[in-house]
């Protein structure tokens, strides 16, 4: 189990390191393209690009720092308490299923609830607007 945790930690640090290397590599590439000097960077107009790449690279350093810190601050033995096979949470799945089935039986045996159908307001027999076409539903006369 310890070997699996070590492999997970190594892959986690590697996964956090990849974006830092990518954005750092792009920043170095653009610096080399411009001749490696500030005058060349300004001449080609790459200043904002390089500043943006460096800023994003620093933002991706945050997860890397957290993962490396988590790797070195781990207590010996993995830090997880041993899992008990005895579940003392007080939850009984058989009782929960029995309650559910009992509530389903009472719902099926009770009559359905009937609600009154809303009627359109009467306005003295006068019709405002165009006549509504007869269609689906109950006819009201």
**Exposure of 105 in the CB half-sphere (CA atoms within 13 A):** 6
User: pLDDT for 77-123, tens place per residue?
Assistant: 655 555 555 556 778 889 999 999 998 888 777 766 666 666 665 66
Check residue 85 and give its pLDDT: 58
End-to-end C-alpha distance for the chain, whole angstroms: 79
Task: Report pTM.
Answer: 0.48
pLDDT (tens digit, 9 = 90+) per residue, 79-92? 555 555 555 677 88
Q: How confident is the model at residue 25 (pLDDT cuts 50, 70, 90)?
A: very high
Query: Cβ neighbours of residue 104 under 8 Å, at least 6 residues apart?
Result: none
Percent of the chain at pLDDT > 90 equals: 27
């Amino acid at each position: 189990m310890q070997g699996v945790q070590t492999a997970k930690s190594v892959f986690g640090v590697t996964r956090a390191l990849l974006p830092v290397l990518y954005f750092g590599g792009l920043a170095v590439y653009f610096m080399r393209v411009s001749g490696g000097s500030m005058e060349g960077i300004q001449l080609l107009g790459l200043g904002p690009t390089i500043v943006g790449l460096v800023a994003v690279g620093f933002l991706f350093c945050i997860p890397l720092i957290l993962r490396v810190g988590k790797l070195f601050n781990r207590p010996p033995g993995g830090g997880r308490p041993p899992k008990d096979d005895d579940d003392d949470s007080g939850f009984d799945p058989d009782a929960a299923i029995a309650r559910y089935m009992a509530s389903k039986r009472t719902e099926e045996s009770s009559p359905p609830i009937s609600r009154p159908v809303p009627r359109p307001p009467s306005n003295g027999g006068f019709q405002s607007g165009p006549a509504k076409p007869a269609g689906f539903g109950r006819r009201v006369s």
